[in-house]
Structure 1
């Protein structure tokens, strides 16, 4: 079902990967994903105690996520240009250091403003890491193994979902939310050590300038692809940021129950991440369109059953499995669409993700404060279904690089 984009495509030169594949370095990238995503979404599971301790509303506390996303957005657009003369190994190591500093600052925060400052540092690390992640993977393994390596790296997102949501919620009630963020700092230290030991020297490649970003956006299919990505991720994070209030206030799940439901989300997300590789091999276009459709139907189903416990648990798991394929599919899309400028292209995808995360958190916060969690899930689910229909009708992903040549 995948079809090349219409119009004249620029000449493209596939990246030359080292042999043999550096799988230990891929694992270190997975640890980086795990640490950063864990820190990014810990506020989801700890939203209620953070809001209570810092004397702010849950809607305002949720902006700790949007603040991180906003800085990640800015960083994703600038990091390739600002660091274009530096070895990518050293740049990636610096992001792990920022993860540690940010987590310690959040754990020590006595005001919401200081917490936001720590989250700003996390946004820089997050945006920079994600911008370079796909391009780095392309240099660590041969081209045919890139989808597998990406799936391994994105399994770090699934593992982080398991940890940040249910484990974060469970531990937050036992050792406090501040101690949980100190654990996140410890993960950052471990990540730095493993990356220091395994990442090879990676001299910068590509033009890496702001002009490059403009040129990439103007390539065939890029504008619509990025717009579709923003809409899908906005819908998801308007829902996910406020899933705990939905479970507590609509479904009536106690704190321990919330941890269990979110654990199901994370485990299903892990499975969905690995299933995405097989789906992408059949059709990238189908995978990109199918994931938001399933997510939207699942979350609207949660609204229609009015929070009935057992069906809600099943639907949350389905939602998690579907979302597991989203980052893998869109990372594959960018490596196929602009293989000659994968790092700068990755920056655009990250910018789209972070714009959507911030938008989802902000819009979800407004909805949850004025309409309650039910309103958030009704609107978010509808947005996802509409996005799936539009993507099915319009998006035409490029074939793999080997097929193009």
Structure 2
């Protein structure tokens, strides 16, 4: 594992003014993160239609969100080790290519088995991309702009969230869910072309080994971030995966209204992505605590306001705005605690959040099928509070 940091001239480039084309390169990586998140979350806005089309239950259809997470859990650390000293430009373009293939297969899937295979392929590309994408961003600009470059790439999470649910629901209503995946394939192809054209050569600056990752897991502060990340994504996707069924079946919104509410969630997330950046930069630790507490409150209240459309819309919008800041908060929290082990930290963060995403969606599906949406949302809120408590407890021990 290299000990270089984002301020090392050899990593971020010569200490001259950042060239415009460097920011275009950052944008190209951000475009890939956007298409990746959109592709990963696309089924959430189409869950009912896909379930009907493949003749499975809504809970079983939730596996389409679970499988990418499971694959990414293995792919993130494995890609970090296997990539060795391969030029990172080649690695990123190859991983982006997997997104195209995955979406094409999903659009053509005649049954659940082929669809799950397509989603596993997406997970491999997703895990590998997140292991390298954000760590590459600081190398494309001056060291002083490293955080901004990383935030630009991770903003694809918020943008993908904005687009995935409402866009998927809209295309599904107009043309059918298969066309939504076709759109995802086209968008992913554009991301591949953008990286081929705009990314410079990115030689490896070091090598991560299995021993490096094991050593990283022994560090207390980063381990706290990983636990908080696991609980965050367990809570988020235990409820978020089934937001569309909640809006349709519990809140009694029409299909077109569901699309608008999901759009509100996404737009609020985009606003939160930028509105909270200064709060996160000042103290990612306390930002994460606050975000998780508010997330728990919003999710817990949703089943209790199902008969009140305005209240449900307000809570969904609040939830979306907080989600816009949470992933960036966790990312920066990890960057500041991992230090020289940043690449290994990023790989383990990706693996952990994907475990949380997959487990949250899977457990949420079981809970929805057996106990209903109300119990599922209440349990997710409790898990979010547990995530906040984990960070609070670690902070207390650190100062006493």
Question: Given the alignment of the two structures, is residue 358 of structure 1 paired with residue 358 of structure 2, yes or no?
Answer: yes
Match of 2:60 in 1: 60
Relative to the length of structure 2, the TM-score reads 0.94
Match of 2:385 in 1: 385
Q: Distance in 1 between matches of 2:220 and 2:149?
A: 27
Relative to the length of structure 1, the TM-score reads 0.92
Match of 1:7 in 2: none
Match of 1:183 in 2: 183
Instruction: Check conservation: 2:134, 2:153, Cα contact below 8 A.
Output: no
Gaps of 5+ in 2: none
Match of 1:316 in 2: 316
Deviations 1:107-161 (A, max 9, x none): 0000100001111110010000011122111212233322222222222222211
Question: Given the alignment of the two structures, is residue 282 of structure 1 paired with residue 282 of structure 2, yes or no?
Answer: yes
Q: Distance in 1 between matches of 2:204 and 2:88?
A: 6
Deviations 1:271-317 (A, max 9, x none): 11112311023212111111111111111121222341101101101
Match of 1:219 in 2: 219
Change (3 A) 1:122 1:397: farther
Q: Distance in 1 between matches of 2:69 and 2:220?
A: 27
Q: Distance in 2 between matches of 1:397 and 1:109?
A: 51
Q: Report the Cα offset of residue 201 of structure 1.
A: 1.0
Instruction: Check conservation: 1:280, 1:329, Cα contact below 8 A.
Output: yes
Q: Distance in 1 between matches of 2:396 and 2:287?
A: 12
Q: Distance in 2 between matches of 1:390 and 1:353?
A: 16
Deviations 1:191-217 (A, max 9, x none): 011111111111112331111100111
Q: Distance in 1 between matches of 2:56 and 2:269?
A: 31
Moved more, 223-232 or 46-55: 223-232
Q: Report the Cα offset of residue 385 of structure 1.
A: 2.0
Q: 1:14 aligns with which of 5, 24, 49?
A: 5
Moved more, 51-60 or 150-159: 150-159
Question: Given the alignment of the two structures, is residue 335 of structure 1 paired with residue 335 of structure 2, yes or no?
Answer: yes
Following TM superposition, the consecutive aligned residue runs of length 4 or more in structure 1 with deviations greater than 6 angstroms are: none
Instruction: Check conservation: 2:28, 2:198, Cα contact below 8 A.
Output: yes
Q: Report the Cα offset of residue 46 of structure 1.
A: 0.6
Match of 1:229 in 2: 229
Q: Distance in 2 between matches of 1:187 and 1:397?
A: 47
Match of 1:402 in 2: none
Moved more, 72-81 or 324-333: 324-333
Q: How many residues align?
A: 389
Change (3 A) 1:235 1:105: same
Q: Report the Cα offset of residue 12 of structure 1.
A: 5.5
Instruction: Check conservation: 2:225, 2:334, Cα contact below 8 A.
Output: no
Gaps of 5+ in 1: 1-9, 399-405
Considering only aligned residues, what root-mean-square deviation do their CA atoms show, in Å?
1.8
Q: Distance in 2 between matches of 1:35 and 1:41?
A: 10
Instruction: Check conservation: 1:35, 1:160, Cα contact below 8 A.
Output: yes
Q: Distance in 1 between matches of 2:2 and 2:130?
A: 25
Mapping of 1:131-150 within 5 angstroms?
131-150=131-150
Mapping of 1:370-381 within 5 angstroms?
370-381=370-381
Mapping of 1:29-178 within 5 angstroms?
29-178=29-178
Mapping of 1:187-202 within 5 angstroms?
187-202=187-202
SS in 2 for 1:221: helix
Match of 1:273 in 2: 273
Instruction: Check conservation: 2:59, 2:366, Cα contact below 8 A.
Output: yes
Q: Distance in 2 between matches of 1:150 and 1:134?
A: 6
Change (3 A) 1:53 1:345: same
Instruction: Check conservation: 1:147, 1:277, Cα contact below 8 A.
Output: no
Deviations 1:33-75 (A, max 9, x none): 1111111011100111111011111100101111110000000
Q: Distance in 1 between matches of 2:250 and 2:114?
A: 32
Q: Report the Cα offset of residue 389 of structure 1.
A: 2.7
Q: Report the Cα offset of residue 102 of structure 1.
A: 0.3
Instruction: Check conservation: 1:285, 1:397, Cα contact below 8 A.
Output: no
Q: Distance in 1 between matches of 2:113 and 2:198?
A: 37
Instruction: Check conservation: 1:206, 1:340, Cα contact below 8 A.
Output: no
Q: Distance in 1 between matches of 2:307 and 2:68?
A: 30
